[in-house]
Amino acid sequence: MATTQPVLDSRQLRKIAEAVSGFRSEKQYWIVLTQGEDGELDYAVEATEPAPRADAVILPCRTPKEADRPHVVSATIRAQEGPEVNLLDLTVDGDPDDGLHTADAVFWGESSIEKFAVPYYASVYGSEAGEAVTALLDSYNGAAASRAGAAGAEPNAVEAYALVHMPRSEYIELDGSSGGAARRARSDRFAVLALDRATGRHRVIPLEEPRRPRGQG
């Protein structure tokens, strides 16, 4: 385990800003940043002020509550020949927690993805934007799967039709009821909505986050 404070770069600061935007409270809270064993930044959220640590950067934060407006209680999408999908109740492939996720945005069609999803994704990854955007578009277009197949292979059985954005922090409100226990901060992510033609079912396939080589930043 690292014993020195992590040095933050611009990419990490962008990702921290994205993560804390999901915590809505007029009360102050604290982000505790440490260097993970894999060289990546690790962080948690504390509802009460933690003691100083030699191996961590501790940032006091406050994120305004969302405006008082009617909440969306129903949102669905349906691809041709596919089932209707509840965007507020998604099960993500390979989710170790086997939890349900809520989308707060959905994009379909190349135009909307190129205009809105790509610039946002690029802004989060900074200098790694090229690799990240390529992975995003490859996943949506199925290019990664088709490249792996031999010439003349059968078309992909799983076809993407949309991208969804899911705030993994689910807009948690920090009320201090946890007694100051750390709440793990989970950054936002995109996933591909796809139709599995073999089964007729839909799938929610998460995008793998590009990892920087160890020792960089």
Q: In tens digits, what is the pLDDT along the chain, a chain of 217 residues?
A: 556 777 777 777 777 777 777 676 667 888 888 887 767 777 788 888 899 888 888 888 887 777 778 888 999 999 998 999 999 999 888 876 667 888 989 999 889 999 998 888 787 777 778 888 888 888 888 754 544 444 444 556 788 899 998 875 444 444 444 433 333 334 457 889 998 888 888 899 887 655 443 333 3
Structural domain count of the chain? 1
**Residues in contact with 176: Cβ distance below 8 Å, sequence separation at least 6, in sequence order:** 27, 47, 48
Q: Residue 187: its pLDDT value, please? A: 44
**Domain contains 211:** no
Q: Residue 26: its pLDDT value, please? A: 67
**Domain contains 193:** yes
**Domain contains 213:** no
**Domain contains 54:** yes
Give me 125's structure tokens.
Answer: 């990854």
**Domain contains 216:** no
Q: Residue 97: its pLDDT value, please? A: 65
Q: For residue 131, what are the domain limits?
A: 10-206
**Domain contains 215:** no
Q: Residue 107: its pLDDT value, please? A: 94
**Domain contains 214:** no
Report the DSSP beta bridge partners of residue 84: 78
Query: Is the pTM here over 0.75, yes or no?
Result: no
- Tokens 């209680």, located at residue: 73
Q: Residue 13: its pLDDT value, please? A: 79
Q: Is 207:192 a contact under the CB 8 Å cutoff?
A: yes
Q: Residue 155: its pLDDT value, please? A: 55
**Domain contains 1:** no
- Tokens 């989970």, located at residue: 186
